[in-house]
Amino acid sequence: MRSELLGQLSREKIVAIARGFTLEETLAAAQSLADGGIVFLEATLNTEGALRIISRLREVYGDRMRIGAGTVLDIGQAKEAIAAGAQYLISPNVDEEVIYHGVEQGLEVWPGAMTPTEIVQAYKAGASAVKLFPMGTLGIGYLKEVRAPLNHIPLIATGGVNLHNICEVFDAGAVAVGMGGKLIDPELVRSGSFDELRERARAFVNKAQGATDA
Mind listing the pLDDT tens digit for each residue in 99-152? 999 999 999 999 999 999 999 999 999 999 999 999 999 999 999 999 999 999
Q: SS3 letters for the chain?
A: CCCHHHHHHHHHCEEEEECCCCHHHHHHHHHHHHHCCCCEEEEECCCCCHHHHHHHHHHHHCCCCEEEEECCCCHHHHHHHHHHCCCEEECCCCCHHHHHHHHHCCCEEECEECCHHHHHHHHHHCCCCEEECCHHHHCHHHHHHHHCCCCCCCEEEECCCCCCCHHHHHHCCCCEEEECCCCCCHHHHHCCCHHHHHHHHHHHHHHHHHHHHC
Q: What is the percent of the chain where pLDDT is above 90?
A: 96
Amino acid found at 197 = L
Alpha-carbon distance 43 to 21, whole Å? 9
Catalytic pick from 42, 104, 187, 196?
42
- pLDDT of 196 strictly over 90: yes
Average pLDDT, the chain: 96
Q: What is the mean pLDDT of the segment spanning 57-71?
A: 97
- pLDDT of 183 strictly over 90: yes
Q: Where are the domains of the chain?
A: 4-209
42 noted as active-site residue: yes
Amino acid found at 183 = L
Q: What is the mean pLDDT of the segment spanning 159-187?
A: 97
The pLDDT score that the predictor gives to residue 210 is 87
Residues in a beta bridge with 131? 112, 156
- pLDDT of 212 strictly over 90: no
The pLDDT score that the predictor gives to residue 1 is 40
Alpha-carbon distance 159 to 130, whole Å? 14
Question: Is residue 22 within 8 Å of residue 55, measured between CB atoms?
Answer: no
The pLDDT score that the predictor gives to residue 214 is 44
Identify the burial level of 201 via C-beta atoms within 10 angstroms of its C-beta, where 0-12 means exposed, 13-18 middle and 19 or more buried. buried
The pLDDT score that the predictor gives to residue 3 is 83
The dihedral through the CA atoms of 214, 204, 119, 109 has a sign that is negative
- pLDDT of 8 strictly over 50: yes
Q: What is the mean pLDDT of the segment spanning 41-67?
A: 98
- Structure confidence at residue 57 as a pLDDT band (50, 70, 90): very high
**Is omega for the bond preceding 134 within 30 degrees of 0, making it cis?**
yes
The pLDDT score that the predictor gives to residue 23 is 98
Q: How many other CB atoms are found less than 10 A from the CB of residue 173?
A: 18
- pLDDT of 211 strictly over 70: no
- pLDDT of 213 strictly over 90: no
Domain 4-209 homologous superfamily, CATH:
Aldolase class I (3.20.20.70)
Catalytic pick from 131, 145, 182, 196?
131
13 noted as active-site residue: no
